[in-house]
Amino acid sequence: MPIRAYKRILLKLSGEVLAGKTGYGIDGTMLDYLAKEVQSVVELGTQVAIVIGGGNIFRGIHGERRGIPRASGDQIGMLATVMNSLALQETLRSFHIPTQIQSAIEIRSIVEPFIRQKALHYLEDGHVIIFAAGTGHPFFTTDTAAALRAIEINAEAILKATKVDGVYSADPVLDPTATRFEQITYFEVLQQRLKVMDLTAISLCMEHHVPIIVFNLNVAGNVKRIVLGETIGTLVNNEGKG
């Protein structure tokens, strides 16, 4: 078996990823694609946790434009992440990958509540675990939830899936002169206000020394390449070269 660079990872997915090319809802083709990416590292023996957003269904911040209070909008968004988690769980199980969901809000008739020790047991037993409902509190993003859960389960890295191949000095779509960082520090991300994860998530990762790898999910095999130690995307840590 190839030598793994990471034994336990947390994969952060945006809800928009699940929409695929449709732009809204849940696309079955994308679910299968994600399952294959996860399967490729599970087969290496890597323990995988996942946090997924709900933006393909609802975003709390957008609800404010319709007169929905932000706290209520965020609660709707949390429930959207549960729906996404259920869809991903069933797809992973159809690939014969044992998968469990733990939710930050209690919906016991559908999913388990988050219990740290039980989550660790699932991971050590070879199960993929999906953490749903963000942090369980409004005004916190699923980026922050990903950082929090990664710290709680002692993940060796957060793999932040995006549509681009790393962190750039500016939006590469809007600025053709933007340059990509191969490695950068948390402080530089905060100082330059680079859109990696929200400020709370970056601060948590900096304080607890959890590296973040920002990579292009649309390149098949990238998750496995990262787990095997290849230099893919941008590494955010305390030793970045800027």
Do 236 and 203 touch, CB atoms closer than 8 A? no
Number of domains in the chain: 1
Residue 60 marked in a binding site: no
Residue 14 annotated as binding site: yes
pLDDT tens-digit readout, 135-168: 999 999 999 999 999 999 999 999 999 999 999 9
C-alpha 113: how far from its chain's center? Answer: 19
Does the annotation place 137 within a ligand binding site?
A: yes
Q: Is 27 annotated as a binding residue?
A: no
CA atoms within 13 A on the CB side of 223: 32
177 marked among binding-site residues: no
Residue 219 is given by DSSP the state: S
211 within a domain of the structure (yes/no): yes
13 is annotated as contributing to ligand binding: yes
Joined tokens for residue 192: 């330059």
Instruction: Write out pLDDT tens, residues 155-202.
Output: 999 999 999 999 999 888 888 899 999 999 999 999 999 989 999 999
Residue 239: the pLDDT is 80
Residue 197 is assigned to a structural domain of this protein: yes
74 is in an annotated binding site: yes
**Residue 1 maps to a domain:** no
What are residue 51's DSSP bridge partners? 12, 131
Give the rounded percent of residues in the chain with a pLDDT score beyond 70. Answer: 96
Domain of 16 in residue numbering reads as 8-237
**Size of the chain, expressed as the number of residues it contains:** 242
54 assigned to a ligand binding site: yes
Per the annotation, does 131 bind a ligand?
no
- The response to whether 139 counts as a known ligand-binding position is yes
* Confidence category of residue 85, pLDDT binned at 50, 70, 90: very high
Contact 155, 65 (CB under 8 A): no
Nearest to 132 by CA among 69, 196, 216, 49: 49
Was 96 annotated as part of a binding site? no
Give percent of the chain above pLDDT 90: 84
Pairwise CA distance, residues 105 & 137, whole Å: 9
- Residues pairing with 234 in the sheet: 214
pLDDT value of residue 161: 97
The reply to whether 178 falls in a domain is yes
* 141 assigned ligand-binding residue: yes
Question: What are the angstrom distances between the C-alpha of 189 and each of 148, 183, 193, 196, 232?
Answer: 18, 11, 6, 7, 18
CB of 163 closer than 8 Å to CB of 217: yes
d(CA 11, CA 52): 8
118 belongs to a structural domain: yes
Residue 109 domain flag: yes
Query: How does residue 242 score in pLDDT terms, banded at 50, 70 and 90?
Result: very low
The answer to whether 208 is a known ligand-binding residue is: no
SS3 of 183, please?
Answer: strand
d(CA 205, CA 207): 6
Contacts of 95 (CB under 8 A, 6+ apart): 35, 36, 39
Residue 74 maps to which CATH number?
3.40.1160.10
Please tell me the distance from the alpha carbon of residue 82 to that of residue 107, in angstroms, as a whole number: 9
Asked, for residue 2, whether it belongs to a domain, the answer is no
Long-range CB contact pairs, 22-31, < 8 A, 24+: 24/56, 24/57, 25/56, 25/57, 26/56, 26/83, 26/84, 26/87, 31/87, 31/88, 31/91
